[in-house]
Amino acid sequence: MNTLSRFGPMTPGALAAHEKVQPPSMTRVLAALEDRGLVQRAPHPTDGRQVIVALTDAGDTLIEEVRAREAWLSQRLKELSTEDRETLRAAIEVIDKLIDS
């Protein structure tokens, strides 16, 4: 979705190329995003065999919300002491071990 936000509407093939995934994988992702109302398909203006995929208003809103949360978290992390950041890094390693087990 971030690619569509940055570069605008495009074909599923172009989106797959941007994301470096195979077209069938992108087709599955787009179907799920479309089911959630985050993207929409429209006829290609010059090639009747293709479609153009674009973010919906809900997709745009979600992207904005995620960016705001990431900016907030980034700022909070910058405010932590070096010790606190090291504690978080260690905690992430423990959580990763739990996930992998």
Task: Let me know if 86 is exposed, middle or buried by CB neighbors in 10 A (0-12, 13-18, 19+).
Answer: exposed
Contacts of 37 (CB under 8 A, 6+ apart): 56, 58, 59
Q: What is the pLDDT of residues 26-61, one digit of tens each?
A: 999 999 999 999 999 999 999 989 999 999 999 999
Residue 37's pLDDT is 97
In the three-class reduction of DSSP (H, G, I as helix; E, B as strand; rest coil), residue 42 is classed as: strand
Tokens 């700022």 label which residue?
75
**Chain mean pLDDT for the chain:** 95
Domain boundaries, the chain: 2-100
Please say whether the structural domain 2-100 has been given the CATH code 1.10.10.10: yes
The pTM (predicted TM-score) of the whole model is 0.78
86: pLDDT confidence band, cut at 50, 70 and 90?
very high
Residue 65's pLDDT is 97
CA–CA gap between residue 54 and residue 8 (Å, rounded): 7
Is the pLDDT at 101 greater than 90, yes or no? no
